[in-house]
Amino acid sequence: IPTIEKAGGRVLCKATVTEILYDTTAKKVTGVRLQNGDEIFAPLIISDVGATNTFLKLVSKEVIDEHHLNLSQLESLRASNGHMTAFISLDAPSETFGLRPANIHSFLDLPNFNFDISEMQRALYRDPAAYKEKCLITLTSPSAKDPEYAKMFPNSSNVLLLAEGKYEWFAAMGPQLHGSRTDDYLKFKKDWENVFLERLYRYFPKTRGHVRKIEIGTPLTTEHFLAADQGGSYGLEWTRDRFKLETLRDFFHPVTAVDGLYLTGEASLFGGF
C-alpha cells in the first residue's frame, strides 16, 4: 500500500465494485462503478476477482454480446473445493508448544482406504459426519514461520488447521446470511471445532488448556469474505472443460477480448489462490 500511495495511487477498503464501465463509442472500458454509486475512471482495469465474478457479475450483457463471448462456457464450469478452517490463538510463544516452521499433513484414516488418498477424501465429501474425525487435515503455524511474530505479538502464537470442505454440504441447511447463521450451521461448525482441536492436541499435546481463541471457517465464510464463487479455495475446478482452447482464450487470458480489461490472479491462465 505505501508503494501504491507513493506513486500517487489510492487503496480503497469496503469499496465494492458493482460494474465495470464501458464506453460504447470508444469501445473500451473506462472505469468502475461502486456500490455507493461513485464512479472511478481509469485508462485500464485489472481484475483480480476471478473470471466468474468478472464476466458474470461486473461486465454488462451488452459488452458480452458485442464481443461475442459465450458465457455458457464459463457458467458450466464448477468451483474448486473449499475448506473447513480453524484459526487458533495460543497464550504462549511457539517454542512453548514445540510448534515448528513446517506443515503437517495428517492422514489418520488412510490405512482403512488401502492408502488411496482420493478415495478417503471422496468418502468425506459424501458423508462429512462419518469421516471428519480421521480425514486429511493440514496443520501449520504461521507464528513459527514468521521471525517478526514474536516481536509484534509477544507471549502468543497461532496454528491454522484446514480440511477440504464442500459447498454442497450446506445446501440442506437453508439460506445462510452472514451474521445470522442457522442452528444447523452453527452445530456443524462446532462439531468441526472439536475435530480440529483434537487433531491439534494429537501433534502438539502441550497446547491443551492454552487455546485463547478458535475461529472456524467454512466454504460459506470464504464466499462471504472473498467473494469466491461457491467458496472455492482455488478458483474453478481443473477439468478438461476449464482448459479448452476457446475457454482459455475468452475467459482465462490476462489480455481479455474487451479493450482495456485485463485479468490477474487465479483466473489468468492457470488456477491458484
Residues 6+ apart with CB under 8 A from 8: none
In the block, cell 480453524 appears at 86
Q: What is the rounded distance in angstroms from the CA atom of residue 17 to the CA atom of residue 249?
A: 25
Question: Chain-wide mean pLDDT for the chain?
Answer: 94
DSSP secondary structure letter of residue 125: H
Locate 243 and state its grid cell: 482448459
pLDDT for 144 beyond 90: yes
For 76-89, how does the pLDDT look when each residue is reduced to its tens digit (9 = 90+)?
999 999 999 999 99
Contacts of 134 (CB under 8 A, 6+ apart): 108, 109, 112
Residue 86 dihedral angles phi and psi, to the nearest 5° = -130, 120
SS3 of residue 46 by DSSP? strand
pLDDT-derived band at 170 (thresholds 50, 70, 90) equals very high
pLDDT digits (tens, 9 = 90+) for 171-219: 888 888 888 999 999 999 999 999 999 999 999 999 999 999 999 999 9
pTM of the model: 0.86
What contacts 6, CB < 8 A, 6 or more positions away? none
d(CA 22, CA 216): 40
Angstrom distance (rounded) from CA 223 to CA 258? 27
pLDDT tens digits for 32-58? 999 999 999 999 999 999 899 999 999
DSSP classification of residue 130: H
237 has pLDDT over 70: yes
